[in-house]
Amino acid sequence: MLQIPGKLSSVIGDKSAKAFEKQLGISTIGELLEHYPRRYASRGELTSFDSLPIGEVVSVVGEIESVNVRRMKGRQGSIFEVTLSDGNLGLTLAFFNQAWRQKELTPGVRGLFSGRVGAFSGKLQLAHPEYELFEDLEDGKAKAWAELPIPIYKSSGTLTTWKIQKAISITLDSIEIPELLPAKLLEEQKHIPLQEAIHQIHRPSTKHDFLAAQDSLRFHEAMVLQLQLSQQRAVNANSSSETREPGELLTAFDKTLPFELTSGQKKVSTEIFADLASGRPMHRLLQGEVGSGKTLVALRTILAVAESGGQSALLAPTEVLANQHFQSLRDSLGEQLSRKLGLSLLTGQMSQQERKKVLLDLASGKCLLVVGTHALISDVVSFYDLGLVVIDEQHRFGVAQREKLRQKANKAPHVLTMTATPIPRTLAITVFGDLDVSTLTELPAGRQEIKSHVVEVSKPSLVARVWERVREEVSSGRQVFVVCPRIDAKQVEEADLVEELELDDGPAPASAVEVFEALKVNKTLQGLRIGLMHGRLEADEKTEVMSQFTQGLIDVLVSTTVIEVGVNVPNASVMVVLDADRFGISQLHQLRGRVGRGEHPGLCLLVTGAEAGSSGNAKT
């Protein structure tokens, strides 16, 4: 959002700038100033130690309770130990061969301490933490000083929160921040100017300062987004695109359908065909419940574009989903239409020979429909006449990635993006202001009701009941998904890295590998066939596991979010999500949509350790 040119090295020097780029991915002045505090502490308020996550770098405000110097056992040297208190629990600071620190680290002194949380002899410990001690002030100044907010930043490695604060302070003193919005508008909406907001978010004197800054920054971000979307919409309106109209291909396909299109599918198709015939590039968002028939609408659009020889590319976020789409489209089109369209699949796991053939077919125009992952965005991929880009689960792709695929067309292509995450129409218009929005509200015949329940881990009897329910479903001939936020203790799915990095408090989240091993020895599940699925498996292993689950050879599939979208197993009736508070709303909605796809109602059990009443435990 901040329109501030210049590299970070120009204000804080090359050495510091390299550290910021390496550890936090920050290389420009604007990126540094938009690295906002994640929370605020105060010198007069101690940090609670009871939820410090082992293995994570933390910054805490504490008071030194006691100090001790002792010789190390079995080797030369000493350990200077400091016991830090939050008023209730203790946290040990350990310094090796640094007894000289006892001159400044004395009982009663308060400060801000930063380091990686470890455990030693059953107690939490920070080994060689960095720190800044709070100075003593006269009584007249003490109250204001104690209440002065301390910005706490997301830090990494040797970049402590106060080093980040210092770099930001130097930057703020060196530059002017240009205002992006008219002063009259800010005055009418009662928001402070951008420069003032940036200063107050990083250098607040009171709680009111950073709250006012947050309000102003949110307003600026929303307004700038809307202006950019309006500008893009104007560009789209003035662009031209090839006119595409449905014909014999669509007619032949519709005759093969064993069911009647819903009224919603007919209405949305009419809107899309009007876009294709307008001479201007279509930019439409198609949203609808999982199973509402979005892919069928997209396929009918693809056939309309193919009628005049135009090519279509369907972009999927994962290889599992790309394979699912490819199989589904081939089944829907039938052998004759699939061959006529030259239906192809392009992923990063294909052999060089298979990949070369698809690339040649795309460049020559022989392939009119390709399904693929990020491999479609590669520079080696070229199209003869790219007329339509279909993006599934558009929120999983960056703007630059989507734009790179669009630019492979000779003339502005039509773009259809799809999402199953329910978005209120007013919000959709706000966030996707450059898109026309179509919504499928009906479910095709055969879809079953899905009930969802929150299960709190603080209630062991309910957690035990989860596994009993799993056993009952399998005994009735059905199958179950168990989803975890991590692959193992150290790995998350790449698509979930953003959410995972924001959650650094509390115990380690459930991992698929560990849960898989635990369920194999769970007495309630004895005798059940349990499988494991995650994104780090080889492509052929993933295909084999999904094939076994689809064929009913696996009763319980323990997985990560790799099965979030596109997986269709009609016999699966229960979805158990462990540490559900670790997932976003769109992910939970997609996971929930994996069950209830056959003749049996679906059940989604959201297991969470979030406190009752917290946003992570909200039963909505």
What pLDDT is attached to residue 445? 59
What pLDDT is attached to residue 245? 93
pLDDT at 142 over 70: no
What pLDDT is attached to residue 501? 33
What pLDDT is attached to residue 139? 47
pLDDT (average), residues 543-558: 92
Domains of the chain with bracketed CATH? 44-147 (2.40.50.140), 248-440 (3.40.50.300), 450-617 (3.40.50.300)
pLDDT at 144 over 60: no
Integer Cα distance of 50 and 521 in angstroms: 31
- SS3 letters across 451-492: EEEEEECCCHHHHHHHHHHHHHHHHCCCEEEEECCECCCCCE
- Comparing CA positions, the residue from 401, 409, 367 lying closest to residue 282 is 409
pLDDT at 421 over 70: no
Beta bridge pairs of residue 107 = none
What pLDDT is attached to residue 498? 33
How far does Cα 284 stand from its chain's mean position?
A: 23
Integer Cα distance of 369 and 338 in angstroms: 9
Integer Cα distance of 156 and 159 in angstroms: 5
Integer Cα distance of 275 and 281 in angstroms: 7
pLDDT band at 121 (very low <50, low <70, confident <90, very high): confident
What pLDDT is attached to residue 270? 95
What pLDDT is attached to residue 526? 92
pLDDT band at 338 (very low <50, low <70, confident <90, very high): very high
Kindly report, residue by residue over 248-288, the tens digit of the pLDDT.
999 999 999 888 888 889 999 999 999 999 999 998 888 88
pLDDT at 394 over 70: no
- Measuring CA to CA, how many Å separate 76 from each of 18, 70, 92, 230? 37, 11, 21, 69
Number of alpha carbons in the 13 Å side-chain half-sphere of residue 228: 11
pLDDT at 403 over 80: no
Asked if residue 94 lies in contact with residue 79, where contact means CB atoms within 8 angstroms, the answer is yes
450-529-468 Cα angle (round to 5) = 50
pLDDT at 324 over 70: yes
Say which amino acid occupies 82: V
Top pLDDT among 215 and 565 is at 215
What pLDDT is attached to residue 593? 79
At residue 533, the 3 state secondary structure works out as strand
pLDDT (average), residues 373-390: 90
Integer Cα distance of 354 and 596 in angstroms: 36
The rounded percent of the chain whose pLDDT value lies above 90 is: 40
pLDDT at 606 over 70: yes
Top pLDDT among 567 and 606 is at 606
At residue 532, the 3 state secondary structure works out as strand
Instruction: Name the least confident of 313-322, 382-391, 599-608.
Output: 313-322
Integer Cα distance of 156 and 57 in angstroms: 7
Kindly report, residue by residue over 449-462, the tens digit of the pLDDT.
788 899 988 888 89
Kindly report, residue by residue over 494-507, the tens digit of the pLDDT.
444 333 333 343 45
Q: What are phi and psi of 380, to 5 degrees?
A: -80, -10
What pLDDT is attached to residue 620? 44
**DSSP, residue by residue, 179-228:** --S-HHHHHHHT---HHHHHHHHHS-SSHHHHHHHHHHHHHHHHHHHHHH
Asked if residue 53 lies in contact with residue 506, where contact means CB atoms within 8 angstroms, the answer is yes
What pLDDT is attached to residue 446? 58
Q: What is the CA radius of gyration of the chain?
A: 28
Give the CA-trace dihedral at 484, 618, 201, 398, to 10 degrees: 50
Asked if residue 93 lies in contact with residue 76, where contact means CB atoms within 8 angstroms, the answer is no
pLDDT at 590 over 70: yes
Top pLDDT among 567 and 470 is at 470
pLDDT at 200 over 90: yes
Average model confidence (pLDDT) across the chain: 83
Integer Cα distance of 68 and 84 in angstroms: 12
What pLDDT is attached to residue 494? 43
Kindly report, residue by residue over 8-40, the tens digit of the pLDDT.
999 999 999 999 998 888 989 999 999 999 888
Integer Cα distance of 455 and 609 in angstroms: 9
Write down the pTM of the prediction: 0.58
Integer Cα distance of 227 and 394 in angstroms: 21
Task: Residue 501: count other Cβ atoms within 10 Å of its Cβ.
Answer: 10
Pairing of the two strands 90-96 and 78-85: antiparallel
What pLDDT is attached to residue 350? 85
Say which amino acid occupies 101: R
- Comparing CA positions, the residue from 503, 452, 458 lying closest to residue 609 is 458
Which class for 71: exposed (0-12), middle (13-18), buried (19 or more C-beta within 10 A)?
exposed
What pLDDT is attached to residue 314? 94
pLDDT at 616 over 80: no
Secondary structure of the chain: what % helix, strand, coil (to 5)? 40, 20, 35
Pairing of the two strands 123-127 and 386-392: unpaired
pLDDT at 356 over 80: yes
Kindly report, residue by residue over 428-476, the tens digit of the pLDDT.
555 565 677 888 877 665 566 788 899 988 888 899 999 999 999 999 9
Instruction: Name the least confident of 69-78, 191-200, 322-331.
Output: 69-78
**Structure tokens that stand for 173 in this block:** 């003193």
What pLDDT is attached to residue 393? 67
